[in-house]
Chain A
């Protein structure tokens, strides 16, 4: 209530106290899931690299972020907008590893993403708009291979 009224009367914090709070939020998010910021960034790049193998997404608007209600409820939330205005929201629990069992059926998909792959993906960022058709083909061929798998089993 006090803070509400303070805000109402324009006494919102602007000084180093607010900076302290922001820094704490940041550092505790990472402390609590035992994943330091740099590794988190690497993981995001890997996740994105896997996704762009299959989908044409709007890479500039991709958001993969940690959400924390309190110290025992953290989740990783990924918002992956498609390039063509469609939008999917995927929620990944903290325990879900990249390249999990879901992708096993899809042949090539289960390949580990190496640093080299990452760099390739990054360097092709600039051509996001262009390879639309190509990507469509890729997704078709994926469904093909899934069908083949289905027939086998």
Chain B
């Protein structure tokens, strides 16, 4: 099996990389794919918490790379999905403990037995990002509809292209449709115009993301969550399926419905 390595990056911190990685991992697993998610944010371990696996950790990424543990025994199996595994970041080491070559070696091994290897990149453009970028077959760039986040997404896009890993695809996270409608927020069209990247996902702001991280059960497992549904769609697009973008507005109102009707003709 020649699995695909997908790196989730952003430039700016706190825009939703870890949230996206956890949810895509779960969505892909629920589509029947064999998946490993790697937390590459050494020193700031997070993905285990978001996935609700923090109490099962024995070994971490640095243990694997430094040969203290076997790959198999270091991968933490998800509670719900047989074929979803986590490789946690080391919490007490720094980014220099792992090199880009280490990551290539590790993911080459993981590729053999999995359909997808997702890497949660740390924020920034330094070593941790390089570690996450080097083994990537494809890069997803997470951003928010906000000037500074989009600017950093552009910066990272340049670095991804320079490393010949481009073009990345964009996940636009935390969209508030009512603000976009009022003209008080960048729309997905705006961000597309500015960055010129194709968009693989538009994820709405959703309070359920917070409760999901409180409970360690990602929103994709919550059928009421619009963000969860949007992440599911991203996962399907990652597998090559052509999925239309969902309507993010609650009650479109008569006029909008009419407009949509006309558009659909």
State whether B184 touches A17 (Cβ < 8 A): yes
Identify whether the interface residues of A are mostly helix, strand, loop, or mixed. Answer: helix
Chain A residue numbers with a CB within 8 Å of B186 are 17, 20-21, 24
Q: Is B58 interfacial (CB-CB < 8 Å)?
A: no
Q: Is B32 interfacial (CB-CB < 8 Å)?
A: no
Q: How far is the CB of A14 from chain B (nearest CB, A)?
A: 5
Q: Give residues 110-144 of A contacting B (CB, 8 Å).
A: none
A89 to B8, CA, bound (A): 44
A13 to B255, CA, bound (A): 18
Q: Is A27 interfacial (CB-CB < 8 Å)?
A: yes
A32 to B159, CA, bound (A): 11
State whether A15 touches B183 (Cβ < 8 A): yes
State whether B259 touches A9 (Cβ < 8 A): yes
Q: Give residues 72-101 of A contacting B (CB, 8 Å).
A: 72
State whether B154 touches A70 (Cβ < 8 A): no
Indicate which residue in B155, B183, B193, B263 contacts A2 across the interface (CB closer than 8 Å). B263
A122 to B255, CA, bound (A): 56
State whether A3 touches B189 (Cβ < 8 A): yes
State whether B151 touches A27 (Cβ < 8 A): yes
Interface size of B by CB at 8 A reads 29
Residue of B nearest to A73 (CB): B196
Q: Is A65 interfacial (CB-CB < 8 Å)?
A: no
Q: Is A71 interfacial (CB-CB < 8 Å)?
A: yes
Q: Is B194 interfacial (CB-CB < 8 Å)?
A: yes
Interface size of A by CB at 8 A reads 25
Chain A residue numbers with a CB within 8 Å of B147 are 20, 23-24, 27
Q: Give residues 177-219 of B contacting A (CB, 8 Å).
A: 179-187, 189-190, 193-196
Q: How far is the CB of A73 from chain B (nearest CB, A)?
A: 10
Chain B residue numbers with a CB within 8 Å of A13 are 183, 187
Indicate which residue in A5, A16, A32 contacts B154 across the interface (CB closer than 8 Å). A32
Q: Is A28 interfacial (CB-CB < 8 Å)?
A: yes
Residue of A nearest to B190 (CB): A21
Chain B residue numbers with a CB within 8 Å of A23 are 147
A1 to B262, CA, bound (A): 11
Given A9-B259, A71-B154, A71-B157, A17 and B196 contact (CB-CB distance below 8 Å): no
Chain B residue numbers with a CB within 8 Å of A20 are 145-147, 185-186, 190
State whether A17 touches B183 (Cβ < 8 A): yes
Residues of B bordering A, CB below 8 Å: 145-147, 150-151, 154-155, 157-158, 161, 179-187, 189-190, 193-196, 255, 259, 262-263
Residues of A bordering B, CB below 8 Å: 1-3, 5, 9, 11-18, 20-21, 23-25, 27-28, 31-32, 70-72
